[in-house]
Structure 1
Amino acid sequence: MRALLSTLTRSQAAMVKKRVDNYTLTVRKRSKQPTRHVRDVFSTPNTSRRVSECPPCPPPQDTSDSLSFEVPYSEGVAAHRRGRQGDCKDCQRIRRDDHDLPTFQLPRPKLGLTRIQDLSCEDMKKIGYISLIELTTFYDGLGIELKRNRAARSKARENGIFGVPLTTLLENDQKKFPGSKVPLVFRKLLSKLEQTGLQTEGILRVPGSASRVKHLRQELEQKLYEDRFDWELVRHNDAAGLLKMFIRELPYPLLTLQHAPAFAAAQNISSPRQQIQALHLLIMLLPEPNRDTLKALLEFLRKVVAYEEKNRMGLWNVSMIVAPNLFTYRGKNAKQEEMQGAAGAAHLVRLLITHQDLLWTVPCFLISHVRKLNEAGASKKPPSSEKTKKKLLLMRRKTTEREKTERSELTDLRQGVIRVHAPQHAKISMAIQLDNETKAKDVMARFDYENGTSRRPRQYLFEVGGNIGERSLDPETHLLDVYHVNPHCEWVLKPTTT
């Protein structure tokens, strides 16, 4: 906990302390219980939410098309409160007209853009913990109260396709297709729709035959994994029905049961920019299977909207149709809540479709937190087991030998020299002097020139170790800036896993 607190902003640390104090007080009242992980203290939230009026508008330099990744969003809320009084276009609710949606450009930080798939799994787990703290602080600053809610325990099917958890489906798929990130049936349905339905009027809106959809569902359950299912029998409107049915019948919602209330609360934020920021943090929080499946759906929906002139399905129409399947309500008042939240849910789907590239990019301030957290963790004493000690000594010996070799090779070069390792190239190592203009794409081009340009797959530059697990570098990344932020990393050229 201490290591985590040392990486947080003052607002985030205050929120953690507040939550821990409240939790401790509750535990004392109920009797002693085991200490919980910080992510459990912040486990989301349900229901009761109070939304304040939109605070004063931001300082003048905050333009409508800018969205900074450098500063935590919760700090921006505080700045917003201290801003100018008066009318604020950013705080006005947007109308149904698609053209009223705000546009936000992806920033171009010198450390490079980082997509979710560019980070190691361990670093993404830490991103999730920090995002949960940041989201709680951000919502608190906006006056949105999120109460903790225990996840419902229910037995789900372990076999079949419909009504089966995403994790179970992927486990089954990976036995036949290693590395699968999106359920096979979901990919097949999207592929069928892309092949036959993108230019068809009313795609997603015109329902298929209920009896035919029911029959196809039974056939899929029995034959999909045996490669006996005939996809030629599936019409595009039947595929659309099966797709919506698949999402709707997931035993745990695609937006997760745990975080669904936080998604719903985002509907009540007046500022489009802050809605985007809330969605951004929520995407960082989603489990990997949910996030990957949601991304596949949004990429397809963007293609549907791109063919609007042919299929008569604009952004608002698509969003209104898809929203009820994503924002599911359960309980006695489910229908009433769904009707009341229909427009707000559709608006969030519009934002998800329109800004998906931005939302699947990890903000710099979260990566900075991870670097600090890794540094804080590295400063701890190593475990005392003999096996671990021997392993660490061997690693240190190898590192020292490698550093001596590199120092001897680079004695005539100035500071700011990196050695890039390229195990799959003919020239497996190269010393490169960095300057203010050196970018990742320059190193990639240099190795391509040395080894010929016909090599496939394309190789990307990674920073490995130091204060990061592993990060694939955007070709536009300024390497000298990365060198200063993470001087002890290794530089490796290799293909990405995506």
Structure 2
Amino acid sequence: MEVNDSGSVVLTAYHSYTPARAEQSFAPEAPPSRPLLLRKSLPRCQRINRMISNESLHPPVYSRSNSQASVDSTSMEDFWCEVENIKESSEDRQDDQTLLEVKSPDEGELEAEWLHDVGLSTLISGSEEEDGEALLSTLTRTQAAAVQKRYNTYTQTMRKKNKHQARDVRDIFGPAFEAIPASPVMTNGIQLPIHKPATSYLECEFEKVNQSVTEELSFEVSFSESITEIPKHREWHSNQSFKKEESALPNFIIRKSRFGLTEVGDLSLGDMKKIRYLSLIELTAFYDALGIELKRNRAERVRGRENGLFGVPLTILLESDQKKFPGIKVPLIFQKLLLKLEETGLETEGILRVPGSASRVKSLRQEIEAKFEEDMFDWEQVRNNDAAGLLKMFIRELPSPLFTVEYLPAFITLVEKIPEVKLQLQALHLLIMLLPDASRDAAKVLLQFLKKVVSNEGKNKMTLWNVSMIVAPNLFIYKGKRANQEEMLAAATTARIVRLLIKYQDILWMVPNFLISQVRKMNEAAMNNTKRQLMFDKGVRRLLRRKTMERERPERTESDIPEGVIRVHAPLHSKVSMAIQLNNQTKVKDILARFCCENSHESSANMKMQVQSLHEIGGNIGQHCLDPDAYMLDVYHANPQAEWVIKPKIS
């Protein structure tokens, strides 16, 4: 940290692994007329508060970035105190992980990585891949333009390097790459009327009354296709204060279509992989439509600990926990830390903000590492502030941050360059869709906990902005050896990101219907390609001729079922199958209620209808847990070849 005579503070770098510079980095040099001991007699957090106060009294001697100027100086107190607490907790500990240095890629390499990440590596390799052709056939106009732009950049770079000439996209896939006209994307594979009356809403707000404006969100049309004009970017001025109150944010409601809403856990892993491909293409097209460059960090390979609890990758923790509890999605240690705070700490004043004892937290960490696996650790001994310290330590010591190093620039850009909250939310929504399963599941339970903290603001004195300022450095300041001044200067920006994540989390876990529609089309295109290949296979043709000549007695098939009638299977009930006639008003919950009535003689322990869900399986979808409010006839028309099964929903 550099200090000038006026008392202004410039944070030049932050290195969590350099304990020798702790005092130097965060304490201003004492004026010559004052003894040095007077400065060191103050607690570190108070010294930071004084520095922030001094900064607000004198104009800075450097040009402030947008993220700095967007927040008044005094509001940063909690953030810098939390940064100092992070440094103190890591001073006496050896960093266990090693980052493998990777040279900065050139433009061509970045575009090649992008094409690989969206499932279009075939454009580079030249191989004939069905998935690539199927994916290209589903793209909207803006999405196709985004792919074309990246592929053109890649081919131009390859020509400059005198490497092999890359083929044109149409040379590989023919007309499949031609951009789809700029019309609304069909929802779940069928046409929707433009002005369909709403059936119900999902509203995103806290329990307390919020007087802010309510706006409507649509999941039916591609976000990038919805941008008709580029909004003007509003520059922040140094004397402009940022509105931190929750009431400054609008409330949003999602108009439910007749297909209902789909959470990320409602789709199969295979379909979620395709959702990621499409989300990255859509995010790129969205940024292109706004005239903003989508920057990404080069993905870094990280070697973390392979055993223990803290500093261990989420995937390794899950592999270990799933041996005991199959299907678990969030590491047990993370769940336990959150549960401890939910049970005893939600009403604690200053929870998350007031640090626990550094020595106690260090001792508790060692004890947890030794006793947790055998379930011998006594959680009753843990004070609430110490538990909060352990939680934050677990988050920031993950080898790969929850919101990934790769997309950190995209998170920063969405609040620095996109002026409207609605557009920020749409970009954030797509970024959440891109997260790995383990990271997204862990982020979901964390944000649910933070929402509960804010809901108890009356007792714990932690507002939405307070919580955001405390959590931001733990989530977004990467502790690796590449942590630099840019990440620190984005302090205010990261707090604004966390504020959006907490406020709108109920929306962020919903998969947009237009992406599900594209997955359906992608699956249908892949199936059609497979059928065409089979028809050219001589062995298959011979088998079909033999079957035709045998004239075996045909068995009754699902095609014999009349139009508008589905057969629903319920293997866990005594009545395992039932044919149901659908009409325009039949909802999923009506079918579940009918099975409940037909099996009412079963014991409540066996039925557990409250956790039973209707699943759409096969056809143009892998597996889809349906919203109870979805209209079944619409879903049936979107996927007439599917099977319908009632079974417990995996949570």
- The TM-score bracket by the shorter chain reads 0.7 to 0.9
Q: How does 1:295-374 map to 2 (within 5 A)?
A: 295-329=444-478, 334=483, 336-374=485-523
209-218 vs 452-461, greater mean Cα deviation: 452-461
Q: Distance in 2 between matches of 1:131 and 1:76?
A: 15
Paired residue for 2:646, among 487, 493, 497? 493
Paired residue for 1:375, among 524, 537, 541? 524
Q: Distance in 2 between matches of 1:273 and 1:93?
A: 21
Aligned to 1:44: none
Give 3-state SS (helix, strand or coil) of 1:250's partner: coil
Paired residue for 2:273, among 104, 110, 125? 125
Q: Distance in 2 between matches of 1:241 and 1:401?
A: 71
Measure how far apart 1:2 and its partner are: 2.4
Q: What amino acid sits opposite 1:9 in the alignment?
A: T
Q: Distance in 2 between matches of 1:94 and 1:451?
A: 58
Q: Distance in 2 between matches of 1:194 and 1:237?
A: 12
Alignment of 1:472 onto 2:625:
yes
Maintained 8 Å contact 2:565/2:582:
yes
Larger radius of gyration: 2
Aligned to 1:211: 359
Residues 107-155 of structure 1 show CA distances to partners (whole Å, capped at 9, x for unaligned) of 2110110011111111001000000000001011112212454312232
171-180 vs 289-298, greater mean Cα deviation: 171-180
Paired residue for 1:12, among 120, 127, 143? 143
Alignment of 1:436 onto 2:584:
yes
Q: How does 1:49-64 map to 2 (within 5 A)?
A: none
Q: Distance in 1 between matches of 2:351 and 2:296?
A: 39
Q: Distance in 2 between matches of 1:363 and 1:236?
A: 38
Cα 1:444–1:31 change in 2 (3 A) is farther
Aligned to 1:404: 556
Q: What amino acid sits opposite 1:491 in the alignment?
A: W
Maintained 8 Å contact 1:194/1:300:
yes
Cα 1:430–1:249 change in 2 (3 A) is same
Q: How does 1:26-425 map to 2 (within 5 A)?
A: 26-30=157-161, 32=163, 65-77=215-227, 79-81=228-230, 95-268=243-416, 269-329=418-478, 334=483, 336-381=485-530, 404-406=556-558, 410=561, 415-425=563-573
Residues 439-464 of structure 1 show CA distances to partners (whole Å, capped at 9, x for unaligned) of 00110100100001831153211111
Identical aligned pairs, as a percentage? 60
Q: Distance in 2 between matches of 1:229 and 1:168?
A: 21
Measure how far apart 1:338 and its partner are: 4.1
Structure 2 stretches of 5 or more lacking a match? Answer: 1-131, 170-212, 235-239
Maintained 8 Å contact 1:198/1:311:
yes
Residues 50-75 of structure 1 show CA distances to partners (whole Å, capped at 9, x for unaligned) of xxxxxxxxxxxxx9511110111111
Q: Distance in 1 between matches of 2:553 and 2:578?
A: 18
Measure how far apart 1:159 and its partner are: 1.1
Q: How many correspondences in the alignment?
A: 456
Q: Distance in 1 between matches of 2:554 and 2:248?
A: 57
Cα 1:32–1:15 change in 2 (3 A) is same
Q: Distance in 2 between matches of 1:403 and 1:16?
A: 47
Structure 1 stretches of 5 or more lacking a match? Answer: 39-62
Measure how far apart 1:173 and its partner are: 1.6
Q: Distance in 1 between matches of 2:366 and 2:403?
A: 26
Residues 298-357 of structure 1 show CA distances to partners (whole Å, capped at 9, x for unaligned) of 010011111111111111111110011111246899464344322222122111111111
Q: Distance in 1 between matches of 2:252 and 2:414?
A: 18
Maintained 8 Å contact 1:94/1:100:
no
Maintained 8 Å contact 2:296/2:409:
no
Paired residue for 1:463, among 591, 616, 621? 616
Q: What amino acid sits opposite 1:371 in the alignment?
A: R
Cα 1:257–1:225 change in 2 (3 A) is same
Aligned to 2:192: none
Residues 97-116 of structure 1 show CA distances to partners (whole Å, capped at 9, x for unaligned) of 21111110122110110011
Maintained 8 Å contact 1:173/1:184:
yes
Q: Distance in 1 between matches of 2:328 and 2:389?
A: 24
Q: CA RMSD in A?
A: 3.1
Q: Normalized against structure 2, the TM-score is what?
A: 0.65
Give 3-state SS (helix, strand or coil) of 2:556's partner: helix
Maintained 8 Å contact 2:302/2:400:
no
Maintained 8 Å contact 1:93/1:271:
no
Q: Distance in 2 between matches of 1:86 and 1:468?
A: 40
Q: Distance in 2 between matches of 1:253 and 1:184?
A: 18
Q: What amino acid sits opposite 1:474 in the alignment?
A: D
Cα 1:406–1:123 change in 2 (3 A) is closer
Q: Distance in 2 between matches of 1:143 and 1:329?
A: 28
Aligned to 2:635: 482
Q: Distance in 2 between matches of 1:224 and 1:402?
A: 60
Q: Distance in 1 between matches of 2:588 and 2:555?
A: 23
